[in-house]
Chain A
Amino acid sequence: MSQPIVIVGSGLAGYAVARELRRLTTDKAVVMITADHGGFYSKPMLSNALSTGKTPESIINGDAEKMAAQLDITIHSHTRVEAVDTSNQSIELSNGERLSYSALVMAIGADQVRLPLQGSGVSKILTINDVDDYKYFRDVLADKKRVAIIGAGLIGCEFANDLSATGYQVDVIDISPQPLGRLLPPEAGAYLQKKLEAVGVNFHFNMTVESVDQSDTMMQLKLTNGEKVDTDIVLSSVGLTPRINLAKKAGLLVNRGIVVNQLLQTSDENIFALGDCAEVEGKVLPFVMPITHAARALAATLAGKPTPVVYPAMPVLVKTPACPTVVAPPESGHAGEWRVESNGEGVKAVFQNNSGNLLGFALLGQATAMKNELATKLPPILN
């Protein structure tokens, strides 16, 4: 009897592979190993759950039992993979069991980066990386009024908008001079800043946090300019770092992420990786759409038809209702410049090379209506 396909991780990537695989074949055994409860939910929904009236419980679409039945797979919840024995094609689990695999899929995601900070409140700094983190955050938030967010990237801006729109006092601190510093040219950043400020978000730019202290009644952040921010909860959202340790320990090639080729195959031919943990042909893309494309290709490969993943242009929707925003950042290292048009209703920023080819864009406010038209002119990310 052939060994099962083993998927490590029950996030969007893990479930997407299981779902796509079941569309193609029902006769392959699939086992999912997950460190958490194993329920299926949409992680992007966490950052606007307050505004949309969702609770951590209502975000979970199906628990492990329901998902296992629905997809005809076996799920081991609250179980970690401790080690991978590539020569014997087996894994060692935290419960002491060993499991053989015909193919192993690493869909283990990324960790939130934690800044090295000083102060008595550092251990109280929260990060939100999964629904359990989010549940804890909502429990803590229940009797509080103020939240300080370190990092004005995608996640920081989305949570800032969601909290501010639902009545919390929100401070956001970032080292860069604007929100979404890596994605938006300055004029677009200024527009987003203005719109978020209009719903009450209080930004502190060009600033880092020196210390986070905790007293009986509140938390206090000291910024590099000496400014003090009083708050109740500190949320850190300064970026993601792919989880590479398991792959590294197994002797697989890793770089920023787990290195895979266009077949999503690691340096071991029976082990694959996708999602936030993977570096596909040099690209680490921690977004939903790449997962959808990767899962389809990988499912076909696992079903017996080797299929390289192809990424079209994949604009990212920023869930900041105070300022609808879509970004398709140009690949780093590409020469070109931003051209920005703006009026009171929005900003259209396009990044072109000197031949006039569109390489990226950022659309804010009413300009988001041009998303589809512009997206068709972008080069594919991987083909």
Chain B
Amino acid sequence: MLIPFKLTAHSNSSAEKSMGYVLPENQTGQYYQMKKYQCNICGFIYDELLGDPAHGIAAGTRWEDIPESWSCPECGVNKADFEMVEI
């Protein structure tokens, strides 16, 4: 099961971040593995770890928490036209 988390600057080592893992906020020890989603249309990759800060999506924002109004920064298609890719 995936559990909610909040990415904070001090909560994770850079090594953990670079591996795409962040600690959940409640510190129960269960890790959430950051995922990447690729745009079906242009190939742009949304990385949960990086977010899309230039368009108001903070680093660490999970895919399901991105509003439906968000669109691909490279080609403009809707969130629905993305798919998950394996890391």
CA distance in complex: A371, B44 (Å)? 15
CA distance in complex: A61, B40 (Å)? 8
- Chain A residue numbers with a CB within 8 Å of B76 are 289, 292-293
CA distance in complex: A61, B43 (Å)? 12
Asked if residues B43 and A44 are in contact (CB atoms below 8 Å), the reply is yes
Asked if residues B77 and A292 are in contact (CB atoms below 8 Å), the reply is yes
Interface residues on A, range: 10 to 19
- Chain A residue numbers with a CB within 8 Å of B87 are none
Q: Is B2 an interface residue (CB 8 A)?
A: no
Q: Is B84 an interface residue (CB 8 A)?
A: no
Q: Is A372 an interface residue (CB 8 A)?
A: yes
What per-residue 1/0 map shows which CB atoms of B43-87 lie under 8 Å from chain A?
A: 110000000001100000000000000000111110001000000
**Closest residue of chain B to A292, judged by CB?**
B76
- Chain B residue numbers with a CB within 8 Å of A371 are 54
Shortest distance between the CB of A218 and any CB in chain B (Å): 33
Asked if residues A48 and B75 are in contact (CB atoms below 8 Å), the reply is no
Give the residues from 12 to 52 in chain B that come closer than 8 angstroms, CB to CB, to chain A.
Answer: 39-44
**Closest residue of chain A to B53, judged by CB?**
A372
- Chain B residue numbers with a CB within 8 Å of A373 are 54
Asked if residues B54 and A42 are in contact (CB atoms below 8 Å), the reply is no
- Chain B residue numbers with a CB within 8 Å of A288 are 41-42, 74-75
Given contacts A372-B54, A372-B55, contact A45 B74 (CB under 8 A): no
Shortest distance between the CB of A268 and any CB in chain B (Å): 28
Most B CB atoms within 10 A — which of A44, A61, A293, A371? A44
Give the residues from 304 to 359 in chain A that come closer than 8 angstroms, CB to CB, to chain B.
Answer: 317, 319
CA distance in complex: A317, B41 (Å)? 14
Q: Is A12 an interface residue (CB 8 A)?
A: yes
Asked if residues B75 and A289 are in contact (CB atoms below 8 Å), the reply is yes
Shortest distance between the CB of B46 and any CB in chain A (Å): 14
Asked if residues A292 and B40 are in contact (CB atoms below 8 Å), the reply is no
Asked if residues B54 and A292 are in contact (CB atoms below 8 Å), the reply is no
What per-residue 1/0 map shows which CB atoms of A1-35 lie under 8 Å from chain B?
A: 00000000000100010010000000000000000
Shortest distance between the CB of B85 and any CB in chain A (Å): 10
**Closest residue of chain B to A52, judged by CB?**
B43
Shortest distance between the CB of B74 and any CB in chain A (Å): 5
Asked if residues B43 and A42 are in contact (CB atoms below 8 Å), the reply is yes
CA distance in complex: A319, B45 (Å)? 12
- Chain B residue numbers with a CB within 8 Å of A19 are 81
What per-residue 1/0 map shows which CB atoms of A56-90 lie under 8 Å from chain B?
A: 00000100000000000000000000000000000
Asked if residues B75 and A292 are in contact (CB atoms below 8 Å), the reply is yes
Asked if residues A48 and B40 are in contact (CB atoms below 8 Å), the reply is no
Shortest distance between the CB of B77 and any CB in chain A (Å): 5
Asked if residues B55 and A12 are in contact (CB atoms below 8 Å), the reply is no
**Closest residue of chain B to A326, judged by CB?**
B74
What per-residue 1/0 map shows which CB atoms of A272-294 lie under 8 Å from chain B?
A: 00000000000000001101110
Shortest distance between the CB of A370 and any CB in chain B (Å): 10
- Chain B residue numbers with a CB within 8 Å of A289 are 74-76
Shortest distance between the CB of A82 and any CB in chain B (Å): 30
Given contacts A288-B74, A288-B75, A292-B75, contact A42 B42 (CB under 8 A): yes
Choose from A42, A291, A293, A372 the contact partner of B40 (Cβ within 8 Å).
A42
CA distance in complex: A373, B54 (Å)? 8
Shortest distance between the CB of A307 and any CB in chain B (Å): 15
CA distance in complex: A19, B40 (Å)? 13
Shortest distance between the CB of B73 and any CB in chain A (Å): 8
List 6 additional A-B contacts (Cβ < 8 Å) besides A16-B77, A45-B43, A319-B43: A44-B41, A289-B75, A289-B76, A292-B77, A317-B42, A372-B73
Q: List 29 A-B contacts (CB under 8 A).
A: A12-B41, A16-B77, A19-B81, A42-B39, A42-B40, A42-B41, A42-B42, A42-B43, A44-B41, A44-B42, A45-B43, A48-B43, A52-B43, A61-B40, A288-B41, A288-B42, A288-B74, A288-B75, A289-B74, A289-B76, A291-B75, A292-B75, A293-B76, A317-B44, A317-B74, A319-B43, A372-B54, A372-B55, A373-B54
Residues of B within 8 A of A (CB): 39-44, 54-55, 73-77, 81
